[in-house]
């Protein structure tokens, strides 16, 4: 197993997308990048903690590669906005990759360079690349939120379209 830690806005969105991929054996919503150990959701949402909402993905690299995870990550959020995704505003919603080692950092850097050269977005990519930081699991009610609350307005309006996009663009890597 290998681990990827990614932040791209509300962790409920990334959770709903990455849980559907083959080779993802465990996924946990949580917080990384701040200074206080074991922060609460309320503290992270205050915007002063320095933490980002992230998902920790434990995956089998024989089933899905880190490069594929990065491709999906960049396709399912807007990496050109600083401290926001849509209506979610604050540093906890920043686009960030917590690289677990130098190989991940190099691959993330190369992915950003390739996307920039391809002019996928009209604005520059602002995704932060960080060294590995302590990860703190979020409260239980955040885990697998979309599956448990698909009819909630946020889920229907924001998360469901991301899941639909995943099914359309990345059908080849979906779990059976």
Average pLDDT, the chain: 96
**pLDDT of 176 higher than 80:** no
pLDDT of res. 98 = 98
pLDDT for position 102: 98
pLDDT of residue 99: 98
Predicted local distance difference test score (pLDDT) of residue 31: 98
Check: CB of residue 156 under 8 Å from CB of residue 55: no
DSSP structure class, residue 31: E
Domain that holds residue 163: 2-173
Q: Which residues are catalytically annotated?
A: 10
pLDDT of residue 140: 96
Count of structural domains, the chain: 1
Buried b (16+ CB within 10 A) or exposed e, 110-145: ebbeebeeeeeeeeebebeebeebebbebeeebbbb
How far is residue 81's CA from residue 116's CA, in Å, rounded to a whole number? 14
Task: Indicate which CATH number applies to the domain containing 79.
Answer: 3.30.1060.10
pLDDT at position 56 is 98
pLDDT in tens, 9-65: 999 999 999 999 999 999 999 999 999 999 999 999 998 999 999 999 999 999 999
High-pLDDT (> 90) share of the chain, %: 97
Cβ neighbors of 118 (< 8 A, separation 6 or more) are none
What pLDDT does residue 97 have? 98
Average pLDDT over residues 143-158: 96
pLDDT mean over 119-145: 97
């Amino acid at each position: 197993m290998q681990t990827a830690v990614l932040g791209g806005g509300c962790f409920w969105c990334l959770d709903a997308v990455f849980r559907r991929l083959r080779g993802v054996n465990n996924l946990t919503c949580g917080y990384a990048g701040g200074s206080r150990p074991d922060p609460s959701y309320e503290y992270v949402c205050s915007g002063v903690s320095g933490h980002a909402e992230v998902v920790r993905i434990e995956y089998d690299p024989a089933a899905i590669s880190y490069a594929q995870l990065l491709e999906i990550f960049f396709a399912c959020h807007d990496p050109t906005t600083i401290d926001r995704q849509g209506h979610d505003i604050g540093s906890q919603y920043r686009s960030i990759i917590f690289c677990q080692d130098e190989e991940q950092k190099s691959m993330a850097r190369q992915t950003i360079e390739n996307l920039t050269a391809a002019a996928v977005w009209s604005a520059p990519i602002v995704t932060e690349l960080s060294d590995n930081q302590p990860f703190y699991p979020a409260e239980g009610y955040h885990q697998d939120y979309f599956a448990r609350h698909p009819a909630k307005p946020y889920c229907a309006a924001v998360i469901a379209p991301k899941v639909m996009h995943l099914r359309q663009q990345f059908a080849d890597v979906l779990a059976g």
